[in-house]
Structure 1
Amino acid sequence: MAWVTRIIVAFIVIVMAYVLLTLTASELGGEVVTLLRPNADTSVSETRVWIVDTGNFEMIEHGEAGVGWLKLLKHSPSIQIRRGEQLVSYTGILAVEQHDLYHKLRREKYGFADQVIEWLSMTPSSECTGAPVVLRRL
């Protein structure tokens, strides 16, 4: 029976380490902003995401094209980002064609934290199904 307990404890420790490493890499790996995104029922959800800047516009990635809030962007493109203490309004434009650029800029900005998240998700950026959103300030 002692070996069963050890297996259970080992499993719990591994799961806790995975969660802790994920949270540490995503929250402490660089700038994290809060996305205020609309829901189908007109409520607003807050989600913490990484953001990259191209010089001409900013980009985030949160979800797959055609799913959830990204489906709503076509008809209701207004979103807000809380960056530090500043709340900024944007028009969000789904930009699947910017996927490679987004991941390149994300790797440059977040470096090791981005590599850790990629490793933990077991999905290289070349296989990522996330859809970047281009943010244009209003």
Structure 2
Amino acid sequence: MSTTGNANALTAEEIERAADYVQLVFQSQGHDRDWAALEEFHRDGYALAKLMSAFGTLLLSDHITLIPEDHPAYDAEEDAPEVLTEVAIRDFQHWCLQGATGWMAAVFLIEYMQEQGDQTLQILADVRQAARYTPQDTAA
């Protein structure tokens, strides 16, 4: 998909930072240390929203299924899942860059990951692992 190229513009460090933020939002219990860690992220303001836009693009294009294979709409039209993903990514990016906070974007992504069978932490771990992988790893 064309959106995957945009997501690939993220560095491994940016992916780690975004995953750390989403995980912190997901696991936050309202403790002072949680709020202090969140405040550190929130100081980035619009840069955090941009990061979450790019990270959301990565998740939605490569790691989160918007239409489960057993859903009736999945087979209704061959390209329906791809079209839905493109529209969801476009709308998510627009929403992030037009005033959504990093927190709102993280909660949105967490909700999608929760719909994948409560796999939020596993999806974040998979994204982190993929970010650490380089083509040179296979050359050995």
- Indicate the structure with greater helix content: 2
TM-score by structure 1 length?
0.23
Higher relative CO (CA 8 A, sep ≥ 6), structure 1 or 2?
Answer: 2
TM-score by structure 2 length?
0.23
- Indicate the structure with greater strand content: 1
Determine which structure has more spread, i.e. the larger CA radius of gyration: 1
